[in-house]
Amino acid sequence: MTITDKGAFYTGTYRNLFLELGYDDSEITEKLEKTWTELFYGDADTRIYYPMGEDKGYVLDTGNLDVRSEGMSYGMMMAVQMDKKEEFNRLWNFSKTYMQHTEGRYKDYFAWHCKPDGTRISQGPAPDGEEFFAMALFFASNRWGDGPEPYDYAVQARKILRACVHQGENGVGDPMWDPETKLIKFIPESPFSDPSYHLPHFYELFAKYADECDQSFWNEAAAESRAYLHKACHPVTGLSPEYANFDGTPAPPQRHGDFRHFYSDAYRVAANIALDWEWFHKDRWQVEQSNHIQAFFSEIEVSDYRRYTIEGQPFDELSLHPIGLLATNAMASLAADGPHVNQFVHQFWNTPLRQGVRRYYDNCLYFFSLLALSGRYRMY
């Protein structure tokens, strides 16, 4: 693998690892289109998207039978990357109508999950949704242009980010980024983070598109997130905990569980690091980190993926989302330059979408990896 001096943000060139490894360009495009169709309009055991009425639609968490800000914002990012404006607008209209708060401590945040009919199950937000909503909206604005509210995409994105940074300054609510450390929180009220929420490549772009008064904040947030990931990822295994303190150490067990270990949320870290490297090439550590995590999983069968301590000790508990973990291990190939790059890309190419009850999270990670490895996860 040849590493250029600058990422795609500067060169406008996106690596297509499938093409580099010998797959035909038309075959790659066909796989992307087919996977999109299966996820959005496929059979009952595969699809995760459902149109609703004349102008709405939702992505269903099939394992919990609810609609999450995570999945809705992911769906919007998938749609803008694939140039699917109708599905994007349906997802955004559902999110805006049923999930976004219009007043109170969570004003302009999104309830993190609701029923498929739009009834809120919980009022509180999960910040990974907000950052994906904002980035997808900016991309939509730049790709398609803005329309009348609520399709004035850039205006809507700036409103979300304004709340993320400034909520609580009037004494009501809490910001989603810790003002002192510039690190994203697990939830607005929490004194700790989630390493998989850290998207410095998004923050670099927020620094261009957010309110002018906040652009320096987003530049700082990008730098602090990159530094934070050095501390949250184990220096040998590359594994990170699901929740971590602001100093990168695993956060203590919570009322809803013990998240000190490498499990579902944490799978996204490898993918996020790889995309940041692909877009910006600002942190050479990301190459070695990607090598570490690929080396750790290189001799483990997907069917034997498990929960692990960050030091690499396995639990008896199998992974709930093994296809999602394979997808992110493959996406790490965008940054890795070790001996396992080809292994994971080929293995991922030959693995189909997950079917059945638990397919939602796996297949979201699957589609993002498919986009990234084909050079189609782009900045607009």
- Residues annotated as catalytic (active site), given as ranges: 70, 265
Which residue, among 90, 200, 202, 96, has the nearest Cα to 139 in the 3D structure?
Answer: 202
Distance CA 225, CA 175 (A): 16
- Number of neighbouring beta carbons within 10 Å of residue 371: 22
CA angle 177, 180, 184 (to 5 degrees): 20
Instruction: Using the structure block, give the residue that is written with the tokens 């999983």.
Output: 297
Amino acid at position 140, single letter? A
The full 3-state SS of the chain, as one line of letters, equals CCCCCCCHHHHCCCCCHHHHCCCCHHHHHHHHHHHHHHHHHCCCCCCCEEEECCCEEEECECCCCEEEHHHHHHHHHHHHHCCCHHHHHHHHHHHHHHHECCCCCCCCCECCEECCCCCEEECCCCHHHHHHHHHHHHHHHHHHCCCCCCCCHHHHHHHHHHHHHHCCCCCCCCCCECCCCCCECCCCCCCCECHHHCCHHHHHHHHHHCCHHHHHHHHHHHHHHHHHHHHHCCCCCCCCCCCECCCCCECCCECCECCCCECHHHHHHHHHHHHHHHHHCCCCHHHHHHHHHHHHHCCCCHHHCEEECCCCCEEEEECCCHHHHHHHHHHHHHCCCCCCHHHHHHHHHCCCCCCCCCHHHHHHHHHHHHHHHCCCCCCC
**Distance between CA atoms of residues 280 and 203, nearest Å:** 11
User: Which structure tokens are listed for 205?
Assistant: 């772009």
Phi, psi of 315 (to 5 degrees): -95, 170
